């Protein structure tokens, strides 16, 4: 599809995706929606490990041979009942029904945002072998909703906008003292007490980087072990229970380490790793992806101590924000009262079958909500 000098092309093969490496992050650098989960390194690795049984649909807009915008998308077939199922166009790295995936998604709009957005939507309308478009986990700060609403009006599809997950974050001040004063008095005292007790019992307590433990892969294996320990005690599988998932996280870690984005830290007691945090440093922000700790040290609240030590290091290095990512878990609000929302934008195909699926899924959702409410009121 062409508009003026703009041309929309669609990439469906992994080789073509890898060919975009040289230009992808340059477009991302010019985009308002700039986060670590939209980098070529993250999304190409996600597709390499989890693209099976899905269709790659990366849309690119070119202007005189230069890539001006990218929509990283995929198409997934979901089963409903027996042979019945529906097809969804969704962000390439989104979790869908999987526990692994990006906390933030979005489009890379390097220039002329309104026109590029309209062209992306028009292309999908013209190539409508799908039932729904679900644009999940777009950060509310990543896109001008007015532009999106106007672009959606130009296509003959119903448009729905919903609020999604809470995403707590911590703006980091210039000094550690100021940061600590912003915590509640009780929480601050608890942290200091736990650190005193840990240092009293083990004397040598340090925060150490991954490269002090050997290769990236060796460090990741230590992290996996710490993360899985707690889940094994609960007789649950944990995140890293399959080779496929471990391979994905290791490959991301290697690529991010080569770019200086990997922030894998360990809290050690007498040189023994007792807690870990797998995070990313990108664009003067720290993204907290996953943590883990040895349950034998839980009385010291070593997860929180690791978090505190890393935030102190972030402040020293003038990192502006610590992003706790998707999810409103209570422990995050011990650290901050601030949060943003992810957004979900939905389109339904004009076909009768698509609208029937839309009605059916809505009915199932309402029944489930009614069941949850009834159980809550019992």
Q: Measured in whole angstroms, how far is the alpha carbon of residue 369 from the centre of its chain?
A: 26
- Choice among 78-87, 174-183, 251-260, 339-348 with the minimum mean pLDDT: 78-87
Res 376: pLDDT? 41
One domain for residues 345 and 290: no
One domain for residues 17 and 148: yes
Res 4: pLDDT? 52
Are 121 and 155 in contact by the 8 Å Cβ rule? The answer is yes
Identify the residue with better confidence: 351 or 199: 199
- Provide the 8-state DSSP code for 86: E
Residue 373 has pLDDT above 60, yes or no: no
Res 371: pLDDT? 52
Is there a domain that residue 328 lies in? Answer: no
Is there a domain that residue 33 lies in? Answer: yes
One domain for residues 95 and 215: no
Res 47: pLDDT? 95
Q: What is the dihedral of CA 131, 60, 110, 249, to 10 degrees?
A: 80
Res 367: pLDDT? 57
Angle at 199 between CA 207 and CA 202, to 5 degrees: 90
Range of the domain at 100: 2-168+341-377
One domain for residues 208 and 106: no
Is there a domain that residue 101 lies in? Answer: yes
Question: Kind of pairing, strands 66-79 and 85-91?
Answer: antiparallel
How many folded domains does the chain comprise? 2
One domain for residues 164 and 224: no
What is the average pLDDT across 17-40?
93
Residue 56 has pLDDT above 80, yes or no: yes
One domain for residues 183 and 142: no
One domain for residues 285 and 348: no
Residue spans of beta strands (DSSP E) within 252-372? 262-269, 272-282, 285-293, 321-323, 339-348
What is the average pLDDT across 306-313?
96
What is the average pLDDT across 166-180?
95
Q: Quick: pLDDT tens for 224-253.
A: 999 998 887 777 777 888 899 999 999 999
Is there a domain that residue 351 lies in? Answer: yes
The fraction of the chain above a pLDDT of 90, given in percent, is 69
Is there a domain that residue 47 lies in? Answer: yes
Residue 259 has pLDDT above 70, yes or no: yes
Facing residues of 19 across strands?
Answer: none
Last residue of a domain, one of 269, 286, 319: 319
One domain for residues 133 and 23: yes
Q: Quick: pLDDT tens for 92-102.
A: 999 876 778 99
> Any residues with CB less than 8 A from the CB of 130 and at least 6 apart, and which?
75, 87, 88, 89, 124, 349
- C-alpha span between 80 and 97 (Å, rounded): 13
The whole-chain average pLDDT of the chain stands at 89
CATH of the domain at 56: 3.40.630.30
One domain for residues 144 and 178: no
Residue 372 has pLDDT above 50, yes or no: no
The DSSP code sequence of 153-173 is: HTSSSEEEEEEEEEEEEEE--
Is there a domain that residue 333 lies in? Answer: no
Residue 111 has pLDDT above 70, yes or no: yes
Residue 295 has pLDDT above 90, yes or no: yes
One domain for residues 191 and 218: yes
Res 79: pLDDT? 84
Res 107: pLDDT? 94
- C-alpha span between 324 and 127 (Å, rounded): 37
Q: For residue 366, what pLDDT band results from cuts at 50, 70 and 90?
A: low
Angle at 348 between CA 347 and CA 351, to 5 degrees: 150
Is there a domain that residue 186 lies in? Answer: yes
């Amino acid at each position: 599809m062409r508009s003026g000098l703009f041309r929309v092309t669609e990439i469906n093969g992994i080789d073509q995706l890898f060919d975009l490496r040289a230009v992808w992050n340059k477009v991302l650098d010019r985009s308002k929606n700039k986060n670590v989960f939209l980098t070529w390194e993250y999304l190409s690795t996600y597709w390499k490990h989890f693209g099976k049984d899905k269709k790659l649909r990366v849309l690119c807009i070119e202007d005189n041979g230069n890539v001006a915008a990218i929509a990283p998308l995929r198409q997934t077939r979901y089963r409903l009942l027996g042979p019945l199922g529906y097809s969804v166009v969704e962000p390439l790295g989104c979790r869908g029904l999987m526990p692994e995936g990006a906390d933030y998604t979005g489009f890379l709009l390097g220039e002329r945002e309104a026109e590029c957005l309209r062209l992306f939507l028009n292309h999908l309308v013209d190539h409508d072998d799908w039932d729904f478009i679900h644009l999940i986990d777009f950060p509310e700060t990543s896109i001008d909703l007015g532009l999106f609403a106007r672009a959606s009006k130009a296509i003959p599809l119903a448009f729905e906008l919903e609020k999604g997950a809470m995403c707590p974050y911590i703006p980091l001040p210039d000094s550690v003292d100021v940061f600590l004063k912003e915590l509640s008095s009780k929480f601050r005292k608890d942290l200091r007490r736990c650190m005193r007790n840990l240092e009293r019992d083990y004397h040598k307590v340090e925060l150490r980087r991954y490269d002090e433990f050997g290769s990236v892969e060796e460090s990741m294996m230590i992290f996996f072990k710490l993360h899985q320990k707690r889940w094994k005690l609960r007789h649950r599988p944990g995140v890293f229970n399959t080779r496929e998932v471990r391979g994905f996280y290791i490959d991301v870690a290697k690529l991010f380490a080569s770019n200086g984005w990997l922030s894998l830290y360990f809290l050690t007691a007498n040189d023994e790793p007792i807690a870990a945090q797998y995070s990313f440093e990108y664009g003067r922000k720290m993204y907290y992806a996953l943590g883990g700790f040895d349950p034998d040290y839980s009385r010291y609240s070593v997860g929180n101590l690791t978090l505190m030590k890393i935030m102190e290091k972030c402040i020293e290095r003038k990192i502006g924000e610590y992003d706790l990512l998707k999810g409103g878990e209570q422990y995050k609000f011990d650290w901050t009262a601030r949060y943003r929302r992810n957004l979900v934008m939905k389109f339904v195909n004009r076909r009768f079958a698509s609208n029937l699926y839309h009605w059916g899924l809505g009915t199932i959702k309402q029944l489930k909500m009614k069941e949850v409410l009834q159980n809550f009121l019992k």
